[in-house]
Structure 1
């Protein structure tokens, strides 16, 4: 049973990432940064929607270790984008 849930989680994440890549490609705005951000949002949504109620398996606890570094990368991307938008004399 746990293997089925793990497989379902992986399939949901892969489906989200493939759909994100397809939509970004169709909109002609596919970039590594944007794909990472959309995939991170999908990852967080899939983690929350597939979270068990009673017992947390070991593989789910390991997923929590991926979230802080991913959020740091997300923060870096946001700061870099904000600095690109701001005029040069502001900072």
Structure 2
């Protein structure tokens, strides 16, 4: 049986994902990169809001790997966007 915090984490994350998908599609700016960035921000907020005070469960320790991989992908997206903005011949 999932704990209360784990259930809050899953529900909060799913609500953020669906809400961001809805808002981005209503604004007409839905792209995979933008959805990923907005989802990552929401994921990190939900991780912090549902963090326990004293004991860290095993499933929360595994989130470090997910966060690390997501931050690497985020860095790749940022570098790609910067390279698109720079005029050709600078790099």
| Partner residue in 2 for 1:7 | 7
1:43 aligns with 2:43: yes
Q: Given the two structures, how large is their TM-score scaled by the length of structure 2?
A: 0.93
RMSD of aligned residue pairs (Cα, Å): 1.3
Q: Given the two structures, how large is their TM-score scaled by the length of structure 1?
A: 0.93
| Equivalences, count | 91
Distance 2:16 2:78 in 1: 22
| Partner residue in 1 for 2:76 | 76
Structure 1 unaligned segments of length 5 or more: list them. none
Q: How far off is 1:4 after superposition?
A: 2.4
